[in-house]
Amino acid sequence: MLTQVAEGVLIHQSELLQNNTVVVRGRDGVLLIDPGIQGSEMACLANDLRELGLPVVAGFATHPDWDHVLWHAELGEAPRYGTARCAAFTREVLSNADWKARVAEGLPPEIADDTPLDLYGLIIGLPAETTRIPWDGPKIRIVEHPAHAPGHAALVVGESGVLVAGDMLSDVFVPMLDDFTDTNDPVEEYLVGLRLLERVADDVDVLVPGHGSACGADQLRARIEQDRAYVHALRDGRTPDDPRIGPSAKPGWEWVSDIHDGQAQRLVSRNKRDGTPG
């Protein structure tokens, strides 16, 4: 089911994980952002768009996580864009002969049989420093940042004031940091991402996170501060006072606490390895 959140902008939310697909109306069709996770839901979305007379003329993946780079044949053959780093990441995944088996291993078992992988990750990388999506529709600003995943981008739909945040500013997921490698600092990267989103907050009337509930501008800065407080607590080795984990977690989402515990343990291990306090 499509729900309008602003003039010319609609969302479709998946049943599992509450992934938000964003549909932006253009002159000749729609831009489809992060199109969903189950084949049946994507086919339903395609049918809804056909009934509205709205062909898909472009797609965009906010980042290269599996649940944001899927596609369905019924959505058509429109170009699917992402940042250069996002596209490079998916190309690397697809370069492995056993990529499909590797991706399938990471799928939630509830939907593994209904997650189409044939069109997985076919992202066209936009040139570095590109700030607009190339399509015949409302101007959409690309805000690339290093938080959560390589080449992550938030989008600001200028005419409607909608911020499509990708996997940030969720009311159900705590901030999920990028992999702890030898070459990155996922904590600082996340804080940089939050600062970049904060810079565009004055231009935003509606926030659509990658997962969870959309909200108005009045809640946007509160979500930024909540995510920042979580990351600071994680960095400092403190237990976050966060309603998304622990006994106050949303019913059915108690497992998000496991995500937090895993991140906290990895950060402790990294700090011990590097001799960093905390």
DSSP calls for 103-159: HHHTS-TTTGGG---TTTT-PEEPPTT--B--SSSS-EEEEE--SSSTT-EEEEETT
Q: Kindly state the average pLDDT of the residues 150-171.
A: 96
Rounded to an integer, the average pLDDT of 146-155 is 96
Residues 174, 242: Cα–Cα separation, whole Å: 8
Rounded to an integer, what distance in angstroms lies between the CA atom of residue 100 and that of residue 89? 15
Q: What is the pLDDT of residue 270?
A: 80
Residue 80 per-residue DSSP state = E
The CATH superfamily assigned to 3-274 is Ribonuclease Z/Hydroxyacylglutathione hydrolase-like (3.60.15.10)
In tens, the pLDDT along 15-43 reads 999 999 999 999 999 999 999 999 999 99
- How many percent of the chain have pLDDT more than 70? 96
Residue with the two structure tokens 């030898």:
182
Position 179 scores a pLDDT of 77
Rounded CA separation 147/189 (Å): 5
pLDDT at 268 over 90: no
Residue with tokens 């101007």: 139
pTM: 0.95
pLDDT in tens, 198-217: 999 999 999 999 999 999 99
Average pLDDT over residues 6-11: 97
The residue extents of the domains of the chain are: 3-274
pLDDT (0 to 100) of residue 231: 97
Helix (H, G, I), strand (E, B) or coil at 277: coil
User: What pLDDT shows up at residue 269?
Assistant: 84
pLDDT of residue 44: 95
